[in-house]
Amino acid sequence: MSLPLVDIVLRIALVIATGILFTVVFAAYLRLRNRKLLFLSTGFGIFFVHALIYIPELFGPTYIIDENTHLVIHLVALFFILLSTLKD
């Protein structure tokens, strides 16, 4: 399974972007220690782990997640982000 170079660069850029976003939100949580930022950092953490798993070059080409699993992962992450938005 050969991926084009643009696809590989785009996936790595998305991992870096979600990693930076997760780092900023998690650092804010460590500073303030409230439940709202805990839910928000959990949601972005799920997105970050999902982005890491989705790069097949890191885990080998045999590790494939089907579309339903992708949707469930996104739904869980968006649920935590929504819960943090509705908190307070």
Per-residue pLDDT of the chain (88 residues; tens, 9 = 90+): 566 888 888 888 999 999 999 999 999 999 999 999 999 999 999 999 998 887 766 556 656 778 899 899 999 999 999 999 998 7
Q: What is the pTM of this model?
A: 0.86
How many domains in the chain? 1
> What is the span of the domain harbouring residue 21?
5-86
Measured between alpha carbons, how far is residue 56 from residues 25, 49, 52, 64 in Å? 26, 13, 9, 8
Measured between alpha carbons, how far is residue 38 from residues 30, 46, 63, 64, 82 in Å? 9, 12, 30, 30, 12
CB-based contact 18:44 (threshold 8 Å): yes
Diameter of the chain measured on Cα atoms: 48
